[in-house]
Structure 1
Amino acid sequence: MTELTMCIHGHFYQPPRENPFTGLIPPEPGAEPFENFNEKIHSECYRPNAELGNFELISFNFGPTLAHWLEAQFPVTHDRIVMSDKRHRRTFGVGNGMAQAYNHTILPLARHRDKATQIRWGIADFAHRFGHAPEGMWLPEMAADIDTLAAMQSLGLRYTLLCPHQVRDPNGDWVDSRMPHYVRLSDNRYLTVFLRDEQMSNRLAFDPGLTASAAHFADWCRDTAHTDSGLFIIATDGETFGHHQHRRQHFLRSLLRTEASRVGFQVTTPGGYLRRHSPTRDVVLVEQTAWSCAHGLARWNTGCACTSGDQRWKLRLRTAFDRLAGSVDALYENECRAWIDAPWKLRDGYINVMLGIIEGPDLLRQFSSRAIPTEATRRLLHLLEAERYCQAMYTSCGLYFEDLGRIETRNNIAYASMSVDQVKLATGLDLSPGLRSDLAAAKSWVTQETGQDIYDNVVAHRRA
């Protein structure tokens, strides 16, 4: 390895801000002069980076739910981002976009079939937008376990990005983050992992003084590298470039077009790098880890010291969601038994209905060896919608922050209520008493309201 290379990866994602019942984002205080933060971030980050051509220079993933909003509200920006990947693919023979698990679910905390659905939906959304299958996938919060990596590999993905603390050398030696590595799976399979350079990534993300000048940052990176070879991956939230740090879209353009090469770095992407350098070493995955929690995955499960206050509500909320999902799954499987040969493959395929590629009844016909009556079709489609909302209620943002009463958690509870509604439309059964009882155990340490209070509030406002 004689090249000195740099890759900037932007993780572009925002929590779904839409009211789950209307699909519209309500006015958000603090976003002024814009109606909401999505519009504000579009103006400060997504649009200027697309206009400057920065998406052609970086590796990036764009969250599917955010991309759906962007396509509807600002199609010119959406299409510029898509064209950036296409131009990069024409020039280098490989795209620079990566897929993302669809609902930004913490995959190691999900059941295996839910992991598979999230990965399949993310792949399908990417292929629909960008016109080709992805080679890599961004794991939400970089949360990883072997089951997740194996599911990714089995679905045709080649690589992902992780932090150095998430892997270890089999012999206890130092792991060189300046090269890709293999994580061995079962049956002699493997997935390639690229490792984020922690120092460069964190300084770029959190030291605005260092990024005030692209030339200064490039000089600092060259001095920090202490080598004339190797790959340095700088991975951070894409919103850093213009929103978290104002006008850093110009910094990014200057860094990758002129300053990085001036100090000796070649600019690359993970897919492009793999075309020239195959991994030669194995690493062992440190399971149940993420990039944004020092306590494994506790931030999205039992709660931890990453956030303040009484965090017991997190496990209680997750338990309520798990019980609801189990009930919905059982009803869905029971309804499928008479008509559908592979119910979970059908759910995986439902992304094509969500993307508007196919109508629901046509999808059902693809998965049934017999004609499905109209009433059974109606029930199945309602239950598939119930499954869709069950996936949405696990969006990680609802468990990331400190308080049950935040809008992200309220939206997740609203998704749960929509799943309940779809089940009732399909079967006549009302799952709300059990869900409300479970949610009552989750209590805000700030407002003292419970998950049941929030559920009743969101349902009342929907029906008002």
Structure 2
Amino acid sequence: MRPPVGRLVIHGHFYQPPRENPWVGRIYRQFSAYPYHDWNERVNAECYAPVSLSRILNEKGRIVKLVNLYEILNFNFGPTLLQWLERHSPFVYNSIISADRESALRRGGHGNAIAQCYSHLIMPLATRQDKRTQIRWGVHDFKHRFGREPEGIWLPETAVDIETLELVAEEGVRFVILAPHQATGYRKRGDKKWIDTKGGIDTGRPYRIPLGKGRWLGVFFYASRLAHDIAFGDLLKNGEHLKDTLLSGLPEEGLLNIATDGETYGHHHKFGEMALAYALDKIMTGSPELVTNYGEYLSENPPEYEVRIGENTSWSCAHGVERWRSDCGCTTGSRAGWNQKWRTPLREGLDWLRGRLYEIFLNASPDILRSPEEARDSYIGYLLGDHKARGDYLKRFTTSGNEVAALKYLEMSRAGMLMFTSCGWFFSDISRIETIQILMYAARAVELAGEITGHDLTDGLLEYLSEAKSNVDKEGSGADIYRKKVLAGKVGRRTIVASTALGRLLNKHPEREKVEYGDFSINVISETQGERVNEGMVEITHKLSGETTLFNYRSWYEDDETPVVEVRKDGVSDETVTYHLPDLPVDDRDEILGGVKERMRKDILNVTKAFFSEAERTIDLLTGYGVPVSRDFQMFLEVMFTEELRVG
């Protein structure tokens, strides 16, 4: 094998759609992710965490090295996924951030991380306003987390049009990554004739996309055949084979660059991260300069060729961007006889809703929201900011006393973007959790629009969704799914109070307590605790808007020991709503009953310890004379000793 002199870049696109319940900012249990709580947790365990500590084994199967692949790969992470990792998996999150820092130190300031458009909507199908906000939010989130300007940005599904590229360039980003079939022609700079790409395009060099008025944007086209074999073939089954394949693909000069979903390594292919770690470790041993990242390579190799881009194309649909608006034939998880005709009315319905939301947003009173478009583009700073940053933002864009009203407009607009997350159209049926999730964001936007204007947009949206027919007969249409599953997912403040009160009744919490629940803080101001009845007052505050509501509750055990709670707003003539355990979100119910089970376990241990303390001399007497201890008694002792070992 000839000694390679080219350079290698492997890019991982790490992404999960936003999964939080839009009413409370909390991910509830997703049973399809079993045995994990939800898909973020599952993919983190199978991919994101292993990639941060990839094992390299010797011939005896023993670990000889741990590799943080984020220090080697070029990568992007979806901003909403990074937010989840920061909260729920800080070790992995910090491994990602520190890896970018370490790679920048080694590569002349060019870190491995690049940005991503914020919520992974299909850019060519978005309005200019949404495109701009998605790019600005993605760039701001990147700077907030990585502490530097992004050199590149990942376009969701690599879906592209010229307007998107112009907006990317306006934000100072230097390059994007596309599939080779998205190029339509190229030429050397200074030449007048364009060369058609039907015969293919050289992916071993960067190109520049001319954008007029002397502006341009860099672009890398990944090696699609090798990327396909890694993502969908068997190259990750053997690290040695992967190493040889990569080395044989390195050009004599120029670049071998590969881009796949980051979840390829460990989630799609179990132990795929180990094969990659082994291959890259072997390649870099003695020749660490072979592996680089896009930013460093572009800095060292300014584009000598220009390229034309096929607009409305993507890496995951052979028909351009039709996968996200029509029954084009591209799908995942479909069955015989199924179709995706539901995509069109879903797209049309959400486009209609977006138009209504935008009208409401732009017509906000200046007393409530000054410069609405600028306020929205800057809102990411509020979402990520500390108390001072949020205060400064509100002073800039609203007037005193109108803060909650202004944030309602902005949250409506944010939900109106999240409802276009690409996964809602990607799969086989409208009844899947991905589509239900985007419809939940739509429902939240509709609710906020109604609170602002007094007009309900639901019927208009359902008119479109009624034409979106599920392939599963029992699911009916998108309108049926919206009524049965989407609206059923709404969790209001009253429900949160009911969960809090029932948890306190069953598990005897302190009389005063402050707890967190997703986007809310719950402050139990007072409570009178009886043997079978509790009465109290709760202050519930939305952490984003600061809006506070007081509720009174009364919880008790019925004659059959069923726990019940009544909740009503404080100080107003408000209806009292009654809740039982089955009325609560599954996670809340599990948490409450888990507390009951833990309390019972501790009670049993305390009884066992008290009995053993009194019976210790008798046991010594019996065993001293060889009298065996009965099996049931041994079981008590085993429980007690196991617990003592567990707690240390």
Query: Is contact 2:18–2:119 with CA below 8 Å preserved after alignment?
Result: no
Q: Which residue of 1 aligns with 2:93?
A: 78
**Superposed CA offset, 1:37-85 (max 9, x none):** 3222212211121133110001000111111111111111101111110
Q: Distance in 1 between matches of 2:114 and 2:272?
A: 22
Deviation at 1:263, TM superposition (A): 9.1
**Counterpart code for 1:267:** V
Deviation at 1:123, TM superposition (A): 0.7
Larger mean CA deviation between 341-350 and 355-364 belongs to: 355-364
Q: Secondary structure at the match of 1:378?
A: helix
Q: Which residue of 2 aligns with 1:365?
A: 395
Query: Is contact 2:9–2:291 with CA below 8 Å preserved after alignment?
Result: yes
Between the two proteins, the alignment pairs up a number of residues equal to 457
Q: Which residue of 2 aligns with 1:460?
A: 488
Deviation at 1:361, TM superposition (A): 5.7
Larger mean CA deviation between 289-298 and 376-385 belongs to: 376-385
Flag the structure with higher strand content. 2
**Counterpart code for 1:289:** T
**Counterpart code for 1:37:** W
Q: Distance in 2 between matches of 1:147 and 1:19?
A: 32
Q: Distance in 2 between matches of 1:349 and 1:357?
A: 14
Q: Which residue of 2 aligns with 1:414?
A: 440
**Superposed CA offset, 1:10-61 (max 9, x none):** 1111223333334333333453432223222212211121133110001000
Deviation at 1:390, TM superposition (A): 0.2
Q: Secondary structure at the match of 2:37?
A: coil
Provide closer, same or farther for how the CA distance between residues 116 and 385 of structure 1 changes in structure 2, counting only shifts above 3 A.
same
After TM superposition, the structure 1 = structure 2 runs for residues 282-361 of structure 1, keeping only pairs within 5 Å, are 282-307=306-331, 308=334, 309-337=338-366, 340-357=369-386
Q: Distance in 2 between matches of 1:201 and 1:262?
A: 25
After TM superposition, the structure 1 = structure 2 runs for residues 82-93 of structure 1, keeping only pairs within 5 Å, are 82-92=97-107, 93=109
The answer for unaligned runs of 5 or more in structure 1 is none
**Superposed CA offset, 1:321-372 (max 9, x none):** 111111111111111445655321110111112224456564232246xxx2
Deviation at 1:265, TM superposition (A): 7.8
Provide closer, same or farther for how the CA distance between residues 252 and 171 of structure 1 changes in structure 2, counting only shifts above 3 A.
same
The answer for unaligned runs of 5 or more in structure 2 is 54-66, 187-193, 492-582, 584-648
Q: Which residue of 2 aligns with 1:237?
A: 261
Q: Which residue of 1 aligns with 2:575?
A: none
After TM superposition, the structure 1 = structure 2 runs for residues 131-146 of structure 1, keeping only pairs within 5 Å, are 131-146=147-162
Q: Secondary structure at the match of 1:194?
A: strand
Q: Secondary structure at the match of 2:363?
A: helix
Provide closer, same or farther for how the CA distance between residues 26 and 341 of structure 1 changes in structure 2, counting only shifts above 3 A.
closer
Q: Which residue of 2 aligns with 1:442?
A: 468
TM-score normalised by L of structure 2: 0.67
Q: Which residue of 2 aligns with 1:95?
A: 111
Q: Distance in 2 between matches of 1:347 and 1:336?
A: 15
Query: Equivalent of 2:243, from 184, 197, 218?
Result: 218
Deviation at 1:283, TM superposition (A): 0.5
Deviation at 1:313, TM superposition (A): 1.5
Query: Is contact 2:11–2:74 with CA below 8 Å preserved after alignment?
Result: yes
CA RMSD, 1 decimal = 2.1
Provide closer, same or farther for how the CA distance between residues 379 and 29 of structure 1 changes in structure 2, counting only shifts above 3 A.
closer
Query: Is contact 2:368–2:406 with CA below 8 Å preserved after alignment?
Result: no
**Superposed CA offset, 1:82-138 (max 9, x none):** 111011112212111011111100001001110000111111111111111211001
Query: Is contact 1:117–1:348 with CA below 8 Å preserved after alignment?
Result: yes
**Counterpart code for 1:272:** E
| 1:159 matches 2:175 | yes
Q: Which residue of 1 aligns with 2:52?
A: 50
Query: Equivalent of 1:17, from 16, 19, 24?
Result: 19
Provide closer, same or farther for how the CA distance between residues 339 and 30 of structure 1 changes in structure 2, counting only shifts above 3 A.
closer
After TM superposition, the structure 1 = structure 2 runs for residues 96-111 of structure 1, keeping only pairs within 5 Å, are 96-111=112-127
Larger mean CA deviation between 338-347 and 36-45 belongs to: 338-347
Larger mean CA deviation between 216-225 and 275-284 belongs to: 216-225
Q: Which residue of 1 aligns with 2:164?
A: 148
Q: Which residue of 1 aligns with 2:639?
A: none
Q: Distance in 1 between matches of 2:288 and 2:362?
A: 58
Query: Is contact 1:218–1:260 with CA below 8 Å preserved after alignment?
Result: no
**Superposed CA offset, 1:357-410 (max 9, x none):** 456564232246xxx252x43322111110010010000000111211111111
Larger mean CA deviation between 192-201 and 353-362 belongs to: 353-362
Q: Secondary structure at the match of 1:232?
A: strand
Q: Distance in 2 between matches of 1:177 and 1:199?
A: 11
| 1:431 matches 2:447 | no
Q: Distance in 2 between matches of 1:37 and 1:26?
A: 10
Query: Is contact 2:204–2:255 with CA below 8 Å preserved after alignment?
Result: yes
Query: Is contact 1:213–1:251 with CA below 8 Å preserved after alignment?
Result: yes
| 1:206 matches 2:232 | yes
Q: Distance in 1 between matches of 2:285 and 2:146?
A: 29
Query: Is contact 1:380–1:426 with CA below 8 Å preserved after alignment?
Result: no
**Counterpart code for 1:246:** K
State which structure, 1 or 2, has the greater radius of gyration over its C-alpha atoms: 2
Larger mean CA deviation between 173-182 and 263-272 belongs to: 263-272
**Counterpart code for 1:45:** C
Provide closer, same or farther for how the CA distance between residues 340 and 379 of structure 1 changes in structure 2, counting only shifts above 3 A.
closer
Deviation at 1:262, TM superposition (A): 7.1
